[in-house]
Amino acid sequence: MTRTPRSERVSIALVGLRNAGKSSLANRLLDREASIVSEVPGTTADPVPRPIELGRLGMATIWDTAGIDDEGGLGELRMARTREVAEAADAVLFVTRADRPPSPLESEALASLREAGAGRGPRPVLVAATFSDSAMDREKSAFLAGLDASAVDNASGRGIKELRERLAGLDGLLEPEAGPLDGLVREGDLVLLVTPMDLGAPKGRLILPQVESLRDLLDRDCAAVVVKERELGEWYARLPRPRLVVTDSQAFSKVAADIPEDQSLTSFSILFARKKGDIGAYLEGVAALESLRGGSRILMLEACSHHRQADDLGTVKIPRLFRQLVAGPLEFEYARELPPRDELSRFSLAVTCGSCMRTRRETLLRLDRLREAGVPALNYGFFLAWANGLFPRAIEMLPEYRLLAAGGVR
Number of Cβ atoms within 10 Å of the Cβ of 111: 9
Rounded to an integer, what is the distance from CA 387 to the centroid of its chain?
26
Tell me what the pLDDT averaged over the chain comes to: 89
d(Cα 209, Cα 313) in Å, to the nearest integer?
A: 15
Do 80 and 338 contact (CB within 8 A), yes or no? no
The average pLDDT across 379-386 equals 96
The pLDDT, as a whole number, for residue 198 is 63
Please, what is the Cα angle at 330 between 329 and 336, to 5 degrees?
160
Give percent above pLDDT 70 in the chain.
Answer: 90
Q: How far is CA 135 from CA 97, 131, 132, 380, in A?
A: 11, 9, 7, 56
What is the CATH topology of the domain spanning 276-406?
Rossmann fold (3.40.50)
Residues of CATH 3.40.50.300 domain(s) within the chain?
A: 6-172
d(Cα 23, Cα 93) in Å, to the nearest integer?
A: 12
Which has more confidence, 134 or 225? Answer: 225
d(Cα 387, Cα 382) in Å, to the nearest integer?
A: 9
- Greatest pairwise CA separation for the chain in angstroms: 76
The average pLDDT across 130-147 equals 93
Strand partners, 191: 224, 244
Under the banding of pLDDT at 50, 70 and 90, the label for residue 401 is very high
Q: Which one-letter amino acid corresponds to residue 300?
A: M
- Of 185, 175, 195, give the one whose Cα is nearest residue 218: 185
d(Cα 124, Cα 113) in Å, to the nearest integer?
A: 9
307-323 burial, b if ≥16 CB within 10 A, otherwise e? eeeeebbbeebbbeebe
Under the banding of pLDDT at 50, 70 and 90, the label for residue 119 is very low
Tell me: pLDDT of 86 over 80.
yes
The pLDDT, as a whole number, for residue 118 is 46
User: If you classify domain 190-270 with CATH, what class do you get?
Assistant: alpha beta
Rounded to an integer, what is the distance from CA 253 to the centroid of its chain?
28
The pLDDT, as a whole number, for residue 33 is 65
Under the banding of pLDDT at 50, 70 and 90, the label for residue 201 is low
The average pLDDT across 224-253 equals 96
Residue 159, sorted as left (phi over 0), alpha (psi -120 to 50) or beta, turns out to be left
The pLDDT, as a whole number, for residue 290 is 86
The pLDDT, as a whole number, for residue 4 is 72
Instruction: For the chain, report the end-to-end CA distance as a whole number of angstroms.
Output: 42
- Of 219, 165, 178, give the one whose Cα is nearest residue 57: 165
Question: Is residue 101 reached through a cis peptide bond, with omega within 30 degrees of 0 on the bond before it?
Answer: no
The pLDDT, as a whole number, for residue 120 is 56
Tell me: pLDDT of 92 over 70.
yes
The average pLDDT across 256-284 equals 96
pLDDT, tens only, 158-183: 999 999 999 999 988 888 788 999 99
d(Cα 233, Cα 235) in Å, to the nearest integer?
A: 6
- Of 389, 409, 343, give the one whose Cα is nearest residue 370: 343
CATH number of this structure's domain 6-172:
3.40.50.300
Taking the CA of residue 175 as centre, how many other CA atoms within 13 Å lie in the half-sphere pointing to its CB? 11
Q: In what order do the strands lie in the sheet with 297-301?
A: 331-335, 297-301, 349-352, 377-379
The pLDDT, as a whole number, for residue 202 is 62
- Of 247, 208, 210, 211, give the one whose Cα is nearest residue 229: 247
The pLDDT, as a whole number, for residue 2 is 45
d(Cα 279, Cα 211) in Å, to the nearest integer?
A: 22
pLDDT, tens only, 43-57: 556 788 999 999 999
The pLDDT, as a whole number, for residue 35 is 52
The pLDDT, as a whole number, for residue 117 is 53
Residues of CATH 3.40.50.11410 domain(s) within the chain?
A: 276-406
The pLDDT, as a whole number, for residue 175 is 80
- Of 238, 178, 242, 188, give the one whose Cα is nearest residue 213: 178
Beta-strand (E) ranges in 163-238?
A: 190-194, 223-227
Residues of CATH 3.40.50.11420 domain(s) within the chain?
A: 190-270
